């Protein structure tokens, strides 16, 4: 994502969300930890710069598809998918508030496992991934970026 980093402590959504540390970068976004001050839960917020997006029509379409897909999948209340919590817009950015995967990505978990994952642990993660994929496929959503 092009643009400057968001400041920690920034408040979004009429005082509902407080931005924390940066968790990572995507193809056209930055993701931050945030706190839903109303519900008292931690979440993640994906920040997408509007100007960058508008210069790349394909990315703008991809963001719309992502939000639409997340809305469909979130209605399933599946514990193995990332659910959309809120979507916001400012004069400069779009904000997608979603569940926080606090343990990191599956790649992070594998990397931290000294000697690799045990067969049992790997089968647990694989089963969860398949259950999540089944849930999104039942909503006619195809995930085109499965990792690792």
- Quick count: other Cβ atoms within 10 Å of Cβ 112? 10
Distance of alpha carbon 137 from alpha carbon 26, whole angstroms? 23
Distance of alpha carbon 90 from alpha carbon 45, whole angstroms? 14
107-to-65, 98, 147 alpha-carbon distances in Å: 25, 20, 7
Catalytic positions = 145
């Amino acid at each position: 994502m092009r643009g400057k980093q968001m400041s920690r402590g920034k408040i979004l959504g009429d005082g509902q969300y407080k931005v924390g540390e940066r968790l990572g970068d995507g193809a056209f976004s930055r993701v931050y930890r945030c706190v839903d001050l109303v519900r008292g839960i931690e979440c993640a917020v994906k920040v997408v710069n509007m100007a960058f997006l508008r210069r790349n029509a394909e990315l703008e379409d991809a963001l719309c598809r992502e939000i639409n897909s997340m809305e469909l999948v979130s209605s399933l209340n599946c514990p193995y998918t990332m659910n959309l919590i809120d979507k916001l817009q400012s004069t400069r950015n779009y904000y997608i508030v979603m569940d926080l995967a606090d343990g990191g990505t599956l790649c992070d978990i594998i990397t931290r496992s000294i000697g690799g994952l045990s067969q049992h642990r790997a089968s647990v993660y694989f089963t969860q991934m398949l259950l999540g994929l089944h849930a999104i496929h039942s909503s006619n959503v195809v995930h085109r970026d499965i990792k690792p």
